[in-house]
């Protein structure tokens, strides 16, 4: 009788342990699937945020381009057309010839502007060329002196990476112009074994980076670099200018 009781107990204990193990396995499977779903949702959310960031950058660049076109039409092409009208209306052959030359120049300027109406130019321009264009525009205004330096081989970037760099460079230079009052602004483009780096420096007012900014500008720039796996680092102090590093590993 006692042996039968032990056998029953062993069978019952075995069945209980088997049920417990089965429950544990089922629970682990369910937990694993839940984690998979959560990870998938997180990846989808990150992808959505990445796409939104790129879309915002494209829209901002297009708005910047349209503003540039508007200024060129008003300040440059409009002036050239007015002069052309005066020269062509002259009775002097030499003035009429100058008018025709100005019309040719206007046609060339309009063709150049038409190329910037979409973002195809992003794929055809290098980061160095873009940086040079931006610095040349700043120096042409007489606002301050500029300098561009490149170390290492030319960069090869995907379109989304290039879009982010273009917009971040624009914003950094705009901030220097608006807030720093510098005498000199420089951009250094570097490529080496560790990755790619852009250093943007100015000798302007500088600011205390330990004081939280009222705006979200720097935070947005940092987030944008993070969307392409990069880093945004800034060092500044009052009276000592500002240095910004944009880092992208290989």
Please state, in angstroms and rounded to a whole number, the distance separating the CA atoms of residues 232 and 87: 52
Reported as a single tens digit per residue, the pLDDT across 110-143 is 877 776 666 677 888 899 999 999 999 899 888 8
When the pLDDT of each residue in the chain is averaged and rounded to a whole number, the result is: 83
Q: Which pLDDT belongs to residue 60?
A: 75
Using pLDDT thresholds of 50, 70 and 90, give the confidence band for residue 99.
confident
The pLDDT of residue 50 is: 64
Q: Locate tokens 């109406």: which residue?
A: 117
Confidence of residue 4 (pLDDT cuts 50, 70, 90): low
Q: Could you give the dihedral angle defined by the CA atoms of residues 4, 9, 12 and 13, in that order, rounded to the nearest 10 degrees?
A: -150
Q: Which one has a higher pLDDT value, 147 or 22?
A: 147
Quick one: pLDDT at residue 56? 75
Q: Read off the pLDDT of residues 207-234 as tens digits, 9 standing for 90 and up.
A: 988 887 766 678 889 988 998 899 999 9
Q: Does the pLDDT at position 245 exceed 90?
A: yes
Q: What is the mean pLDDT of residues 17-37?
A: 80
Give the H or E element holding residue 198: strand 195-202
CA proximity to 193, closest of 249, 155, 242, 243: 249
Longest dimension (CA), the chain: 133
Domains observed in the chain: 1-118 (no CATH), 124-250 (3.30.565.10)
Are the CB atoms for 184 and 200 separated by under 8 Å? no
Show the CA angle centred on residue 67, arms to residues 126 and 170, nearest 5°. Answer: 40
Confidence band of 58 (pLDDT split at 50, 70, 90): confident
Please enumerate in sequence order all residues whose Cβ is within 8 A of that of 42, keeping only pairs 6 or more positions apart, or say none.
Answer: none
Q: Express each pLDDT in 163-205 by its tens digit.
A: 889 989 998 998 999 889 999 999 999 999 889 999 999 999 9
- At residue 119, the pLDDT reads 67
Highest mean pLDDT among 10-24, 56-70, 178-192: 178-192
Crossing angle of the two packed helices 2-71 and 217-227, in degrees rounded to 10? 120
- Give DSSP secondary structure letters for 128-195: HHHHHHHHHHHHHTTS-EEEEEEESSPP---HHHHHHHHHHHHHHHHHIIIII--SEEEEEEEEETTE
Q: What is the pLDDT of residue 48?
A: 65
Rounded Cα distance, 244 and 199, in Å: 6
């Amino acid at each position: 009788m006692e042996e039968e009781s032990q056998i029953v107990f062993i069978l019952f204990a075995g069945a209980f342990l088997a049920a417990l193990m089965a429950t544990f396995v089922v629970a682990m499977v369910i937990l694993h699937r839940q984690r998979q779903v959560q990870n998938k949702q997180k990846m989808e959310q990150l992808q959505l945020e990445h796409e939104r960031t790129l879309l915002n950058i494209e829209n901002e660049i297009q708005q910047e381009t349209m503003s540039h076109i508007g200024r060129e039409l008003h300040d440059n092409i409009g002036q050239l057309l007015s002069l052309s009208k005066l020269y062509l209306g002259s009775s002097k052959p030499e003035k009429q010839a100058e008018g025709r030359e100005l019309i040719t120049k206007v046609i060339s300027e309009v063709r150049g502007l038409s190329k910037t109406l979409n973002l195809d130019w992003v794929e055809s321009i290098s980061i160095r060329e873009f940086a040079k264009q931006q610095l040349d525009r700043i120096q042409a205004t007489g606002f301050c002196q500029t300098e561009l330096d490149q170390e290492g081989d030319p960069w090869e970037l995907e379109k989304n990476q290039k879009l982010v760099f273009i917009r971040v460079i624009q914003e950094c230079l705009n901030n220097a112009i608006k807030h720093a009052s510098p005498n000199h602004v420089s951009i250094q483009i570097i490529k080496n074994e560790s990755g790619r780096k852009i250093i943007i420096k100015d000798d302007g007012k500088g600011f205390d980076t330990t004081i939280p900014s009222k705006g979200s500008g720097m935070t947005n720039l940092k987030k944008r670099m993070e969307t392409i796996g990069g880093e945004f680092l800034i060092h500044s102090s009052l009276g000592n200018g500002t240095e910004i590093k944009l880092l992208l590993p290989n």
